[in-house]
Amino acid sequence: MAEAMYDYVIVGAGSAGCVLAARLSEDPDVSVLLLEAGPPDVNDNIHVPLGYLKLTGTEVDWGYSTAPEPHCNGRRITLPRGRVLGGSSSVNAMVYIRGNRRDYDDWGVSGWAWDDLFPYFLKAEDNERGASDWHAVGGPLPVSDQRSGNKITPAFVEAGVEAGLARNEDFNGAEQDGVGMYQVTQRGGMRASAAVAYLHPAMERPNLTVMPYMHVDRILFDGTRAVGVEASQLGQAQELRAQREVILCGGAYNSPKLLMLSGVGPAEHLTMREVEVLLDQPAVGENLSDHTAAYSVWTTPEPESLLLALEPAALEEFTATQTGPFASNLAESGGFARVGDGAEAPDVQIHVAPIQIVDEGTKDPEAHGVWVSPCLLTPSSRGSVRLASKDPTAKPIIRNAFYEDGADMTQMVDALRLVEEICAQPAFKPYCAERFTAPGGESDDDFRAHAAATTYEIYHPVGTCAIGSVVDADLRVNGLEALRVVDASVMPTVPRGNTNAPTIAIAERASDLIRGNPAPDGAAA
């Protein structure tokens, strides 16, 4: 079996893995190996923003789905995740949201409060609006305004104002509440994934090795010290050794899966799967949460939706100026609102896409339309990730347990009613001419049935290797040596907003922890 030695072995080239590979390899005296199960990010549909709609179910998608969800009519809900350089930042909707100060302060973990992370959001950022108290320029991650020119999504903003919500020009500024257009991780109308922003500029370094198509099967240990990984590439097994650390960046599904395959997890479960127990750690794979989301769809006679991408003029426009439908991130506008009694911060986020979604996106649009999706920012229900078998290629068993806590369904009904109110306002009514996917009536039961039929997870899974239970405040796996987890799985709870920017900030801070660097300047605003 082939064997090679590096200082750091990073498992997973997603948002966190790309950041770590770039930052750790800044030191020419260390060698860094980055492993990715999927291919290089060469598919054009990754880089043309609207193209990501064609990526689900392809070789760049892990192709996961939930176990049957009891409170969602027993449906198996699709869970697309990036399996490619850039990970899910190569297949996501590119929305740039940091979350709310309260999210991080409520974690109650030293070093991970808002004041600790805010400088790392700034360190990462290159915002085309320029530097301010809330934003920075010169970082690796481009943040840009929308370039699609669609009329439907700005109209939703006007309707939200008509419904009494605040207009918000910057969800990452002083206040999160209100409606507005989302900023996106794009540069010049092209996707700026973590691979584009961080990894590609670093790949010429002689001390950084990137291996795509490398499926990691398990972590190798000497006693309780991680010393490398066993992986397979094109059917050939290899041992890749880490002199300093193994760092898991597989995300909220794959990091706990790999820990369990390596004997770290709930002992009874591992024994049932015929995995030899190295460390009984019941919290691995528990505490899964995501932003529970549902949606409604309307059709419109106005020829304004992203169906215009089918017209030759749209491709001509994008080729010439990188604007128009192909520059759309789909979820162009939306907002943050409070529907719960006494909510101390937004508890609902809305995403609006100018397109008719048919059968959860499994069928082509039939007409021009609009999709409006509220999600719960602070869900109480918790799910889990478990092994299906000890076969490393088997997909994990993922249970979100949506609405297991009935308070979540009550909140979703309130969120869907807020969507109805906004979409009935004069500014948006022209685009909501006919209901296509909507509650069957006005009662709470009608809304609950609609939620059960349309609920999906909005691709923000966190919590399965949480700080304080699975890892310590330095992201080291408790009870083991030379092993860290750095990805969204370490977040104890899901922040109020899209999780890509927080994952990048966590990885930025983790790279300083690993290297022993001081935090960057940047007092929290």
* Pair (212, 64) in one structural domain: yes
Q: What is the pLDDT of residue 2?
A: 53
* Pair (235, 309) in one structural domain: no
Strands 434-437 vs 333-337: parallel, antiparallel or unpaired: unpaired
Q: What is the pLDDT of residue 278?
A: 98
pTM higher than 0.85 for the full model?
yes
Which SS3 state, helix, strand or coil, does residue 388 take? coil
* Pair (283, 393) in one structural domain: yes
Structure tokens at 174: 């002083």
* Pair (131, 156) in one structural domain: no
Which SS3 state, helix, strand or coil, does residue 43 take? coil
Q: Which positions are catalytic? A: 460
Residues in the chain where the model's pLDDT stays below 50: none
* Phi, psi for residue 251 in degrees, rounded to 5: 95, 180
Which SS3 state, helix, strand or coil, does residue 421 take? helix
Q: Distances in Å between the alpha carbon of 2 and those of 5, 231, 318, 364?
A: 11, 10, 46, 47
Which SS3 state, helix, strand or coil, does residue 35 take? strand
Q: What is the pLDDT of residue 525?
A: 53
Q: What is the pLDDT of residue 47?
A: 98
* Pair (235, 254) in one structural domain: yes
Number of domains in the chain: 2
CA–CA dist 269, 336 (Å, integer)? 39
Domain end position, chosen among 454, 469, 484: 454
Burial class (CB in 10 A: 0-12, 13-18, 19+), 193: buried
Q: What is the pLDDT of residue 523?
A: 52
Which SS3 state, helix, strand or coil, does residue 26 take? coil
* Count of CA atoms in the C-beta half-sphere (13 A) of 395: 14
Q: What is the pLDDT of residue 235?
A: 84
Domain end position, chosen among 454, 479, 496: 454
* Pair (371, 308) in one structural domain: yes
* Pair (322, 417) in one structural domain: yes
Question: Which of 357, 40, 322, 356 lies closest to 199, judged by CA?
Answer: 40
Q: What is the pLDDT of residue 353?
A: 97
Question: Which of 124, 225, 112, 198 lies closest to 475, judged by CA?
Answer: 112
* Pair (298, 202) in one structural domain: no
* Pair (440, 304) in one structural domain: yes
Task: Please report where in the chains the tokens 């309130």 appear, as a residue.
Answer: 414
Q: What is the pLDDT of residue 234?
A: 84
* Pair (200, 322) in one structural domain: no
Radius of gyration of the chain (CA): 22
Domain end position, chosen among 414, 429, 454: 454
Question: Which of 298, 304, 455, 467 lies closest to 370, judged by CA?
Answer: 298
Residue type (1 letter), 82: G
CATH number of the structural domain spanning residue 309: 3.30.410.40
* Pair (230, 317) in one structural domain: no
In terms of residue numbers, what domain contains 440?
147-181+292-378+403-454
* Pair (422, 369) in one structural domain: yes
* Phi, psi for residue 413 in degrees, rounded to 5: -60, -45
